[in-house]
Structure 1
Amino acid sequence: MTRARVPILMYHAVTADPDDATRTLSVTPEAFAEQLAVIADRGLTPLTTADLAARWRTGRPLPVRPVLITFDDGYEGVHRHALPALTRHGFPATLFVTTGWIRGAHDTGGGPDTMLDWRQVRRLAESGVEIGGHSHTHPQLDQVGDARLDAELIRSRDIVTGELGAPPASFAYPYGYSSRRVRTAVRGHGFAQALAVGNSLARRAQGPYALRRVTVRRATDAEEFERLLDGRAIGRTFARDRALTKGYAVVRRTRGLRRPV
């Protein structure tokens, strides 16, 4: 299975009433439940991020039809709506928390919608959801200086470790942006693997620090969701996103030349 192409699904908020900031990247609880039913009906086997990476790292075989269910940021609906649906199917998942956005201790504010609190994060972990890092304040990590980069990674790692009793093994880059410098820092601060976006299927050849995901959003209907699982017409589905990303890359490269030390 070394040439396997694995769909890693990227979710954000699961809510019937999203804020404007999260509307596009949210899904309704009903849509999420229907998507899990499709995964179950088609005989796919969900894995955590750590499990997938460990299998590729050691050569242990993958299930015949693996899939990953991941959530970014730490929205409250992951506990309220997604966890019951995951539990009904017995599916594991991975949640990447922006530690400064989680309510309670360490909260620096800035969360774009209603966020989880640490009690809910612990409940998710106890229920089989892998908890990974997603920085502390959600900056574009390739645009910050080395000191800020290290601080974001260390604080994220240490807070998750302190709250859950074990260090996070996996990381997801805020906005999906990384660079060789960022990936080296993520590895150096103890994360064993990391996820980008890319909107294509993950392959072992991408390496453990640049595994790609596909975005599930409010406009993803049943037909498109099945295409994402199969890897069919993904290029066409995200053509506009990729065009915008290429244009923005020029701006980001210019900003990177002025990156603070």
Structure 2
Amino acid sequence: MSTGTGDSATPRTGPGPEGPVPILMYHALAHRPAPSVRALSVSPEAFAEQMALLGDRGFTPLTTAALAAVWRGRGRLPERPVLITFDDGYEGVHRYALPVLARHGFAATLFVSTGWLRGPYDGGGAPDTMLDWDQVRQLAAAGVEIGGHSHTHPQLDQLDDRRLGHEAARCREIVAAELGAAPVSFAYPYGYSTRRVRRAVRAAGFDQSLAVGNALARRGQGPYALERVTVRRSTEIGEFARLVDGRSVGRLFAGDRALTKAYAVVRGARRAGLVLGARGPSGN
């Protein structure tokens, strides 16, 4: 089983470790996804076509833990590194993605929201059909790194310190109990993080974390703020090719990045209001 701690995950050949590296962010794989996740879903056929392109162009997918190990000075990157990541824990990752990954011999990372998965910790509220823990174990046994994605999938930067710590720690605790090894990688729900959130994730025991950013990942971003690019239902194969080749990423996601910056201001103001309300008008 893989939670990303094995030495075999660390590549030992290839060019220097500076990057940049495309980290692909997927969510649901489905023919008929729920309306709320459709825009961020990908059809099984499109996913298969995208993985075939990676294989044809000589890309070597790594786990999140393997990339982080290289950027901490252990090993070297392969010639054309890429990361394939899945957020939340949708059932289609097992049904559709796993056979394709196995066929190509590709590594990947799955970030699970433990309170959304079917089973004893299911708190309700999942937006579509999710994995159960037997399926997660099968994915881990096949070499997919299993990482954390919080317990209930909240906006972590809007939580108080106690709830923030609980979301990260509870997620890690459940994955460790179900898989027999604690996860080492984390992905922020909605991609939102602040310095306080990153500290809490580190304190919970995670060694590295992924944001969104819709930019290529670079070593200089630091292990707790590695950026990813979003793969959507609307992502055509030509656009996908440009993403993994690192061409026009800024232009392709210019609108997304502008919205992200604007919403960061809104979230910061909202959080400030929550803190002020909790302390009372005197600020105590």
Asked which structure has the greater CA Rg, the reply is: 2
TM-score by length of 1: 0.98
Q: Does 1:204 align with 2:250?
A: no
The counterpart of 1:41, out of the listed 34, 56, 68, is 56
Alignment of 1:81-230 (within 5 A): 81-230=96-245
Q: Does 1:60 align with 2:68?
A: no
TM-score by length of 2: 0.90
Contact preservation (8 Å) 1:99, 1:134 = yes
Provide Cα deviations, 1:180-216, integer angstroms capped at 9, x if missing partner. 1111111111101000000011011110000000000
Displacement of 1:59 after TM fit?
4.2
Q: Residues 75 and 174 (structure 1 numbering): CA distance in 2 closer, same or farther, change over 3 Å?
A: same
Displacement of 1:250 after TM fit?
2.1
Q: Residues 60 and 259 (structure 1 numbering): CA distance in 2 closer, same or farther, change over 3 Å?
A: farther
Contact preservation (8 Å) 1:53, 1:208 = yes
Contact preservation (8 Å) 2:17, 2:70 = no
Partner of 2:92: 77
Partner of 1:3: 18
Identity %, equivalent residues: 69
Gap regions ≥5 residues in structure 1: none
SS in 1 for 2:115: helix
Structure 1 runs of 4+ aligned residues shifted over 2 Å read: 258-261
C-alpha distance in 2 between matches for 1:259 and 1:232:
41
C-alpha distance in 2 between matches for 1:245 and 1:47:
27
Moved more, 108-117 or 249-258: 249-258
The counterpart of 2:254, out of the listed 239, 246, 255, is 239
C-alpha distance in 1 between matches for 2:102 and 2:74:
29
Letter in 1 for 2:49: E
Displacement of 1:242 after TM fit?
1.5
Displacement of 1:127 after TM fit?
0.5
C-alpha distance in 1 between matches for 2:274 and 2:132:
33
SS in 2 for 1:6: coil
C-alpha distance in 2 between matches for 1:257 and 1:165:
39
Contact preservation (8 Å) 1:8, 1:69 = yes
Letter in 1 for 2:250: G
Contact preservation (8 Å) 1:144, 1:259 = no
Cα RMSD (Å) of the superposition?
A: 1.0
C-alpha distance in 2 between matches for 1:258 and 1:153:
23
SS in 2 for 1:95: strand
Tell me the number of residue pairs that the alignment of Structure 1 and Structure 2 aligns.
261
Letter in 1 for 2:108: A
Contact preservation (8 Å) 1:228, 1:234 = yes
Contact preservation (8 Å) 1:134, 1:174 = yes
